[in-house]
Amino acid sequence: MDTPPAQRRYVAVDPEDRSIRIEHGPTPSPRPGEVLIKVSAAGLNRADLLQRKGLYPPPEDASPIMGLEVAGVVIATGAGVDNWHVGDKVCALTHGGGYADYTVAPVSQCLPIPAGLGMAEAAALPEALLTVWHNLFQRCQLRTGERVLIHGGASGIGTLGIAICKAMGAEVYTTAGSEEKCRALEALGATRAINYQAEDFEQVLGDLGMKDRINVILDIAGGDLIQKNINIAAPEGRIVYIAFIRGA
């Protein structure tokens, strides 16, 4: 395996006209509990688009370089790392810095690349996958046999959420913006996909006998959905918001 170079290339944003260019800077060294990844592909997320426009300042402890998810090969490991080795293929959620040819990631946010996936596909997994797992299974403690409603089912988070929840034995309901998307989501595993452009999800779920029976709700929209979510949630149900596209 190649020794990491002293300098790496990364995507920089001009603060004046917001254009992008390639710049050079020191290659980071992995700290304890981190790996250094030689990046083959990086994902594109809404946060990256907003950051490029100057509308999303990264957290103070994050890299100013864009890029939240990558796929590549481990090229160095920090102290205490024993479950990843140089040469391992990996996809990872980063704390910024993914739009570079070398970046670091904590091992807690690294995943093996599934068989049959290339680097480009793998780079699109970590952000959505870890968001779904953290919110539905760690925070909301979704269990086998429970009912879950996932808003925005045709999004990356939505499609992964449906597939994972179905695999874990949950009964999945979802919303999407067209009949075509709804049919695709039902083929993916949703019990019922509701076209929010033509139907009111609260009414549809009520007609299906699901009022007060939805155990977990994952919402990316907020706004006028907040009260509707409360109306259909089961007693002691869990509602988690990961964005407020429609407002708080």
Average pLDDT, the chain: 96
Q: Distance of CA 171 to CAs 137, 150, 193, 196, 205, Å?
A: 14, 11, 12, 19, 13
pLDDT computed for residue 221 by the predictor: 86
Quickly count helices (H) and strands (E) in the chain. Answer: 7, 12
CA dihedral 105, 110, 114, 118 (to 10 degrees): -10
pLDDT tens for the chain, 248 residues long, are 678 999 999 999 999 999 999 999 999 999 999 999 999 999 999 899 999 999 989 999 999 999 999 999 999 999 999 999 999 999 999 999 999 999 999 999 999 999 999 999 999 999 999 999 999 999 999 999 999 999 999 999 999 999 999 999 999 999 999 999 999 999 999 999 999 999 999 999 999 999 999 999 999 989 999 999 999 999 999 999 998 878 77
pLDDT computed for residue 2 by the predictor: 74
- What does the alpha-carbon distance between residue 111 and residue 126 come to, in Å, rounded to a whole number? 8
pLDDT computed for residue 172 by the predictor: 99
pTM: 0.87
Give the CA angle between residues 139, 145, 150 to the nearest 5°.
55
pLDDT computed for residue 246 by the predictor: 83
- What does the alpha-carbon distance between residue 216 and residue 13 come to, in Å, rounded to a whole number? 39
pLDDT computed for residue 171 by the predictor: 98
Helix or strand run (H / E) with residue 9? strand 7-13
Hey, what are 19's tokens? 């254009």
104 forms beta bridges with 36
Domains and CATH numbers, the chain: 7-122 (3.90.180.10), 129-241 (3.40.50.720)
Contact 172/151 with Cβ under 8 angstroms? no
